[in-house]
DNA sequence: ATTGTCATGTAGGCGCTGTCAACATTATAG
DNA sequence: CTATAATGTTGACAGCGCCTACATGACAAT
């Protein structure tokens, strides 16, 4: 009994996969129009159900946002994981992960914002765990980069934390600030500037790189 | 003809200082309850005017938020400026400014968020200038710390940028993340952890510190 | 002082939203 | 096969941003 909407032929009373489609539509709205445009009624409209249907899957708007925040950490972890897939050098791999973080933020500003504002609201332990799962990828990468250089992993979690907040800052500030105004370097993009500063920091923090 | 509300005796048709009071009440709501609670009608209620009165001073809600973002950069610049007032050592002064940024974020999360999300919306040149005014304080501090060490100010704006995005990241992530989970150090607070990581980075980036 | 103009505040209404309660339909377990 | 739980619909309510029409008063020109 197929009732997926993919073929959009059947129109049964029960939708069949509403929660997933709500999340997909929600992510789309969030990405394209921002948090203010993310409304349960618009969501219902897009998916083709009544305005109250979403309440069967999310207690309220906050819970929808929380679900999207969770999805954000999962997608972030995946992006980080794939970033250095075919790079051998651990230092380059770390660098690729950091740039992947910034790229994720660039393409998912609103989601990145809710990811951390939701965490700050401290409503969900699950969300915190998802965040830690993503972050542990960074810690590991720093550790590998250090141990490849033959030295013990000194302060490697502190360094990872520092790098994390740094790329997060770049991701958040990047779209708004004209970095050339600040760090003149012929005529490079915000990404280039971020990369340059990041490399500079990396070289300072882990001398092997 | 005094008609300030401070003594709340007079009740004239015209308020006299509505825009200022709206901003004050708005900042209070923003700080205590967050952006979602910042509504023009609630604002009007608190100040004691009709629900449409605020529209004589702000074209719409976004413009109110923009004004609060501008106010945020002014308060941030002031906080940074006062941070190292009675510290002589340039390195310590820089460090104090960085910690002041984090402290500002801790006490003004919602405002800090709108400051940069509003900048990202690129609606106001004035706002960008205010941001640059605040940031230039950081650049100067880095420059002084470098030149005191007797060496040329190499990359000093890049370094300032790196530090900026870093403390911004700390300010945003700090309230949400349990840093001890990540960077175990007996049992220190998030602030302590931030300070430790910051000092570590500082020492790497400007060897004089 | 009188008057006209303009800034500022008020009253009421529109369409949107989140949320709830009551009801309809279907999946599914026993 | 049938009760029951899960899921979707309808209709309502209050609060919101924002608009228009109107009221009040500050102030400058006469």
- Select from B156, B166, B68 the least CA-distant residue to B116: B68
End-to-end CA separation in angstroms for chain B: 57
- In the predicted model, what is the mean pLDDT of residues A10-25? 83
Contact between chains at B159 and A200 (C-beta distance less than 8 A): yes
Residue B198 with chain A: CB contacts under 8 Å: 162
* The pLDDT of residue B5: 38
Nearest-CA distance from B3 to chain A in Å? 38
Q: Is A81 on the interface with B (CB under 8 A)?
A: no
Instruction: Quickly give B69 CA vs D1 C1' distance in Å.
Output: 65
Q: How confident is the model at residue A5 (pLDDT cuts 50, 70, 90)?
A: very low
Residues in chain B: 209
Q: pLDDT tens, A50-66?
A: 999 999 999 999 999 99
- Select from B87, B8, B86 the least CA-distant residue to B48: B8
* The pLDDT of residue B6: 39
* The pLDDT of residue B152: 67
Q: Residue B11 and residue B63: Cα distance in Å, rounded?
A: 27
Q: Residue A162: which of B116, B178, B200 has the nearest Cβ?
A: B200
Long-range contacts, A45-50 (Cβ 8 Å, 24+) = A47/A15, A47/A18, A47/A21, A47/A22, A48/A5, A49/A15, A49/A18
Instruction: Quickly give B36 CA vs C9 C1' distance in Å.
Output: 26
* Most confident segment among A5-9, A36-40, B163-167: A36-40
Q: Which of residues 22-81 of B touch strand C (CB under 7 A)?
A: 44, 49-53, 55-57
**What CA–CA distances, in Å, run from B187 to A162, A206, B184?**
19, 26, 7
* C1' of nucleotide C26: residue with nearest CA: A14
Exposure class string for B84-103: b at 16+ Cβ within 10 A, else e: beeeeebbebbbbbbbbbbb
Stretch among A1-5, A161-165, A176-180 having the lowest mean pLDDT: A1-5
- Select from A47, A40, A7, A6 the least CA-distant residue to A24: A47
Using C1' positions and the CA of B51, the closest nucleotide is: C10
Prediction pTM value: 0.89
* The pLDDT of residue B178: 65
Q: Give the number of A-B residue pairs with CB atoms closer than 8 Å.
A: 130
Q: Residue B168: which of A169, A183, A196 has the nearest Cβ?
A: A169
Protein-proximal positions, strand D, CB < 7 A? 6-12, 15-21, 24-26
Per-residue pLDDT of chain B in tens (209 residues, 90 and over written 9): 334 433 344 567 567 799 999 999 999 999 999 999 999 999 999 999 999 999 999 999 999 999 999 999 999 999 999 998 989 999 999 999 999 999 999 999 999 999 999 998 878 999 999 999 999 999 999 999 988 766 666 678 888 989 999 999 999 887 777 665 665 654 567 777 888 888 888 888 887 76
CB contact at 8 A, A144 and A93: yes
Which residues, other chains included, contact A200 with Cβ-Cβ below 8 Å and sequence gap of 6+? Answer: B155, B158, B159, B162, B205
Q: Residue A140 and residue B188: Cα distance in Å, rounded?
A: 23
Q: Quick one: three-class SS letters along A64-102?
A: HHHHHHHHHHHHHHHHHHHHCCCCCCHHHHHHHHHHHHH
Q: Residue B138 and residue B144: Cα distance in Å, rounded?
A: 10
């Amino acid at each position: 009994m197929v009732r997926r909407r993919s073929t959009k032929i059947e129109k049964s009373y029960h939708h069949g996969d509403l929660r997933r489609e709500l999340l997909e539509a929600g992510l789309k709205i969030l990405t394209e129009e921002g948090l203010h445009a993310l409304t349960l009624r618009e969501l219902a409209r897009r998916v083709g159900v009544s305005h109250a249907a979403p309440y069967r899957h999310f207690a309220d708007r906050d819970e929808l946002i929380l679900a999207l925040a969770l999805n954000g950490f999962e997608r972030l972890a995946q992006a980080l994981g794939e970033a250095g897939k075919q790079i051998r050098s651990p230092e380059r791999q770390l660098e690729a992960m950091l740039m992947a973080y910034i790229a994720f933020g660039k393409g998912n500003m609103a989601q990145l914002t809710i990811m951390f504002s939701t965490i700050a609201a401290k409503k969900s332990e699950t969300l915190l765990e998802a965040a830690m799962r993503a972050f542990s990828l960074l810690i590991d990468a720093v550790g590998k980069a250090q141990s490849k250089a033959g030295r013990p992993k000194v302060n490697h979690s502190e360094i990872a934390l520092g790098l994390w907040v740094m790329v997060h800052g770049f991701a958040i500030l990047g779209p708004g600030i004209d970095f050339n105004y600040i760090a003149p370097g012929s005529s490079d993009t915000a990404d280039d500037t971020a990369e340059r500063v990041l490399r500079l920091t990396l070289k300072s923090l882990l001398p092997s790189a």
